[in-house]
Structure 1
Amino acid sequence: MRLIDVVQLTNSEYLNMYKLKLINKKGTPKDYYVASRRKREEMSCNTKKHDVCDGVMIIPVTENDEIVMLKQYRPAISDYLYELPAGMIDKGETIEQAARRELYEETGLRGKSYELILKPSYSSVGLTDETTAIVKMVVEGEMTNYNTEEDEEIEVFKIKKCDAKDFVKNHHVSVKGALVLLSM
């Protein structure tokens, strides 16, 4: 496949649709549709930069070996899903700064330590060029959802590390969160 052009189809603040105009190995034109959080000129298909980070997911662990989780409403499925805290990296922020900010906003907790577990990686490359880094933080403080954005519906809770695999088996957990919990 060879990329010929990228056409922006929507103009939204956080996510846009693009049509990729391609030529396949037989010379036939093909259209492929993708979503991206990036501007047209910053998309991976144009820059070939695979180390840009759009978002971060945090593995918050307490001193008592508990994992802090979220039950969060997701409009795309019009239902709640169990997840680890996560969010977008704001312009000018490092992965660590975004992780600390998102952790506090979604859980009320502060990170005592920071460890990069997975560098920016594509989350669903068949649909988007979005990348997510995964970090682990030992956390402290009182849990609250008081600092969430007005459109976020989040319940914060803890599970014991030793119960993580059973939790995944018995609940609807996001795939990224499930993979992390299954490795605990």
Structure 2
Amino acid sequence: MRLLRMKNIHEGAYLKHYELTYLNKSGKEKVFELVSRNRLASPRDIGRKASGVTIIAFQKERMLLLREFRMSINKSIYNLCAGMLQEGESVEDCARRELYEETGLTVARFLDILPPSYSAVGFSDTSTYMVILEAEGTFSDHTSANEEITAGLYTREELKAMLRTEEFSSRSQTAAYFFAHFR
């Protein structure tokens, strides 16, 4: 596989759309559509810059999940708290800001920050830092008018039942499963 050229198709406020022309293993020219959160000046930039954080948060033996409307699927699902890094913002500050904006909770302590991982490699180079933390405080809504989010804290037993009946993003489903079934 060899990338031949990259063309910027559309540049939105949050997503940029590119066409990548490449030679497949048979030597045939093919076009791949890529969506990125980052502005890509050249093929060297693809997948090089993390765009945000994904937060796995706990409070007193409960796991935080958001019930969140997602326009891309036109319904609400369970999701992890997440958001985009702002220019010059540290990973920790982004996690603090996003946790507060989406739930009203604050960071009691950071447990771990994993290197960026890719979230949708079938069509995007988007990657986020995985931030694991303990949260404190009570819920309050600080979301924008463009977000519909309800935060909740769930026990292991509640999550075991929800995993069989509710719809989740893949990352939140994985995190909830491991929290529910392993100590």
TM-score (norm 1): 0.90
**CA-atom RMSD in angstroms:** 1.6
Counterpart position of 1:100: 96
User: Could you tell which deviates more after superposition, 171-180 or 109-118?
Assistant: 109-118
Q: Amino acid of the residue matched to residue 51 of structure 2?
A: D
Q: Tell me the alpha carbon deviations over residues 26-63 of structure 1, each in whole angstroms, 9 at most, x when there is no partner.
A: 33211110111111227xx423665x32121111211x
- Count of residues paired in the alignment: 179
Distance in 2, Cα, partners of 1:118 & 1:8: 31
Q: Determine helix, strand or coil for the equivalent of 1:183.
A: helix
| CA positional deviation for 1:129 | 0.1
User: Could you tell which deviates more after superposition, 157-166 or 68-77?
Assistant: 157-166
Q: Determine helix, strand or coil for the equivalent of 1:101.
A: helix
Answering whether residue 8 of structure 2 is matched by residue 8 of structure 1, we say: yes
Answering whether residue 27 of structure 2 is matched by residue 32 of structure 1, we say: no
Q: Amino acid of the residue matched to residue 10 of structure 2?
A: T
Give 1 or 2: higher strand fraction: 2
Q: Amino acid of the residue matched to residue 153 of structure 1?
A: E
Answering whether residue 68 of structure 2 is matched by residue 72 of structure 1, we say: yes
Q: Amino acid of the residue matched to residue 61 of structure 1?
A: F
List runs of 5+ in structure 1 lacking aligned partners: none
Counterpart position of 2:155: 160
| CA positional deviation for 1:117 | 4.8
Q: Amino acid of the residue matched to residue 53 of structure 2?
A: V
Counterpart position of 1:19: 19
List runs of 5+ in structure 2 lacking aligned partners: none
Alignment partner of 1:176 out of 162, 165, 171: 171
Q: Amino acid of the residue matched to residue 175 of structure 2?
A: V
